[in-house]
Amino acid sequence: MYQEISIHNHSFLLHPCGVIFWKEKRMLLIADVHLGKVSHFRKFGSAVPQQAVDSNFNALTRVVEDFEPEIVCFLGDLFHSSFNKEWLLFEKWIHTRNEKFILVAGNHDIISPFHYEAVGMEIASELVIGDFLLTHHPTERDGFFNFSGHIHPGIRLSGLGRQTLKLSCFFKSENQLILPAFGTFTGNYYLKPEPGDAVFAITKNEVIQVY
């Protein structure tokens, strides 16, 4: 189940897998996929199942086909590190798609821009669309509402019996919304909401506003 919010008279759908669909622009925003991280871990001896590689691509396919966007914008850290065999899988995957792809480069995006250009993907340090600013790192700029990633936001929810539940979330403040990490094995940074913040926790099938 989606959660629909309005920002500056534009409509955004928050999806349980951690992406945002911008209705007016038919643009899908995705942050911190970290492709290649599973292969990186496996290379150095971590017992990460190979199926985790496929799960990222399967999830990308499902969410793109669900929304049928015209543009897919990755808000940084599409790849975790240097060129590895998961690039070949991504290259194969992107050639099956008809959408326009844009990468707002993040700190982990160290693969040569020539590889992205070869598959038809645009690269930018940031995107300005009207009074919206799309970046990888959370950025405050006068007159703009910022969409970003990087933080991998999470929220701790406490029950009456001292139970604690930890969930990834969309974290919204007055002029900023930080997307959760899309990729697996990324971890979370647990944020504490301040008055006026809105937190949308994600479960397997729902996005639930908890603050």
Q: Considering its fold, how many domains does the chain have in total? A: 1
46-104: pLDDT as tens digits? 545 566 667 788 899 999 999 999 999 999 999 866 666 788 888 999 999 999 999 99
Q: Which domain holds residue 135?
A: 3-209
188-210: pLDDT as tens digits? 999 999 999 999 999 989 999 99
Q: Residue 95 forms beta bridges with which residues?
A: none
Say which CATH number the domain at 45 has. Answer: 3.60.21
Q: pTM for this one?
A: 0.91
Judge whether 179 and 171 are in contact, CB under 8 Å: no
